[in-house]
């Protein structure tokens, strides 16, 4: 099966291997000039990137110039740089540390803001697009005259694009935004004057391929592979520059595997057991191993709910630590994680009688921080977080026809 993943990723990135120039650089701390190993260097608007070595140095092949590089590192402010041409000299990138957080004693929620205002728009879906928001909207709830709208975080509309028969937006684990229609997918690209729909693909083929990819750090892509009726989950690292794949984690449901063996011997004694029976049995009795992966700058996090553990890995797949995890046993947990990639935070989502709140997961000990509540709103949809700001969709059921997008900043006191 890994051959299939390898072939898919090679096809996905092979166009980057020809006619390339090499950008050389070094990532350093701005205060003490110490190297920052495993910093993430990424070309904006593409899937191309790499990571720095132990000395903070990196080399990145590019097809054409100019490009914008985005550099990120855990607990440091992200940095962007314009590269107009390539020279033999290394570029030096100085990263500033984020201000250190004080112990969390209280969460102060600022006022909730409606980004749409009184515009007659029904926001069906949204995604983060760089520092902006990409909205899928309708004039009314009926799905006619749909538009993509690019707006900034203040609610200012930047671009608008009519689209036919849209289904939803999808943001992959590399940060790219895709539009799903009834039977196709398109990657969205916002130019200076228009929103472009690129790389049309079959929706079924795209979902099968992209759902396996769990994240990217530099030239490494991380994929998952289920086997034994979803009772065994394997994680692999694929380095597309080296064209090699590496296995680094296996998570097994012992109870599920034991049941598989019992059912196997029971089935061979049944004369009238059909394939339909087999499919029903798989759906009804064999829930997939639940252990999602999140990539955060230079860190891989696996929340292994199967074994109640929070597991931290390096980009190369070496385990750094394992901590006890228990929040997923809370009956109000919605079995959903919310990742703020701008500052490397992960939140768990909880709901009680329609009132929702999120809690930050402490990656050092697996415990939860204080609740961050959404005041006066029930049954909100599609909660996401970016740069300590929560976004969500909400429809006022008191006769309001439109679903709006809201934001709420939260700060630590």
CATH number at residue 17: 2.60.40.1120
Q: What is the pLDDT of residue 399?
A: 52
Q: What is the pLDDT of residue 87?
A: 73
332 inside domain: no
How many domains are there within the chain?
A: 1
59 inside domain: yes
249 inside domain: no
Q: What is the pLDDT of residue 413?
A: 46
Q: What is the pLDDT of residue 178?
A: 94
9 inside domain: yes
Task: With a cut of 70, list the residues of the chain below it in pLDDT.
Answer: 1-20, 45, 47, 99-110, 140-143, 260-286, 397-400, 411-413
7 inside domain: yes
Say if CB 319 and CB 309 are below 8 A apart.
Answer: no
24 inside domain: yes
25 inside domain: yes
Q: What is the pLDDT of residue 264?
A: 55
Q: What is the pLDDT of residue 142?
A: 65
pTM value is 0.70
274 inside domain: no
Q: Which of 67, 56, 191 is nearest to 129 (CA)?
A: 191
Domain residue limits at 47 = 2-95
């Amino acid at each position: 099966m890994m051959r299939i993943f390898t072939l898919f990723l090679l096809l996905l990135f092979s166009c980057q291997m020809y006619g390339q120039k090499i950008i050389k650089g070094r990532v350093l701390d701005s205060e003490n000039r110490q190297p920052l190993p495993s910093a993430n260097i990424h070309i904006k608007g593409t899937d191309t990137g790499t990571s720095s070595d132990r000395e903070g140095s990196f080399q990145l092949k590019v097809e054409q110039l100019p490009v914008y590089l985005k550099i990120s590192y855990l607990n440091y402010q992200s940095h962007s740089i314009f590269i107009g041409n390539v020279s033999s000299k290394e570029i030096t990138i100085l990263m500033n540390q984020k201000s250190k957080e004080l112990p969390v004693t209280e969460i102060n929620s600022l006022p909730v803001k409606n980004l749409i205002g009184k515009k007659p728009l029904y926001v069906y879906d949204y995604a983060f697009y760089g520092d902006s928001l990409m909205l899928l909207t309708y004039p009314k709830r009926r799905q006619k005259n749909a538009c993509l709208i690019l707006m900034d975080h203040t609610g200012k509309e930047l671009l608008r694009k009519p689209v036919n028969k849209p289904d939803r937006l999808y943001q992959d684990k590399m940060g790219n935004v895709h539009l799903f229609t009834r039977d196709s997918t398109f990657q969205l690209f916002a130019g200076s004057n228009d929103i472009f729909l690129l790389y049309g693909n079959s929706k079924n083929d795209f979902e099968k391929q992209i759902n396996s990819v769990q994240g990217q750090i530099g030239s490494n892509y991380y994929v998952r592979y289920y086997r034994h009726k979803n009772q065994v989950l394997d994680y692999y690292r694929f380095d597309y520059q080296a064209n090699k794949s590496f296995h680094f984690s296996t998570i097994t449901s012992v109870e599920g595997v034991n049941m598989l063996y019992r059912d196997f011997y029971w089935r061979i004694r049944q004369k009238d057991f059909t394939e339909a029976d087999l499919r029903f049995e798989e759906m009804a009795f064999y829930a997939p191993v639940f252990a999602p992966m999140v990539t955060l700058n230079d860190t891989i996090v696996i929340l292994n709910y199967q074994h109640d553990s929070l597991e931290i890995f390096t980009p190369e797949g070496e385990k750094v630590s394992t901590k006890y995890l228990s929040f997923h046993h809370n009956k109000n947990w919605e079995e959903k994680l919310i990742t703020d990639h701008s500052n490397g935070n992960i939140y768990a989502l909880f709901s009680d009688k329609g009132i929702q709140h999120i809690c930050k997961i402490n990656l050092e000990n697996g415990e939860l921080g204080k609740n961050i509540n959404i005041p006066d709103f029930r049954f909100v949809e599609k909660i996401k977080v970016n740069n300590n700001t929560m976004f969500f969709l909400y429809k006022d059921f008191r006769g309001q026809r439109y679903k709006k997008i809201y934001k709420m900043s939260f700060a630590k006191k």
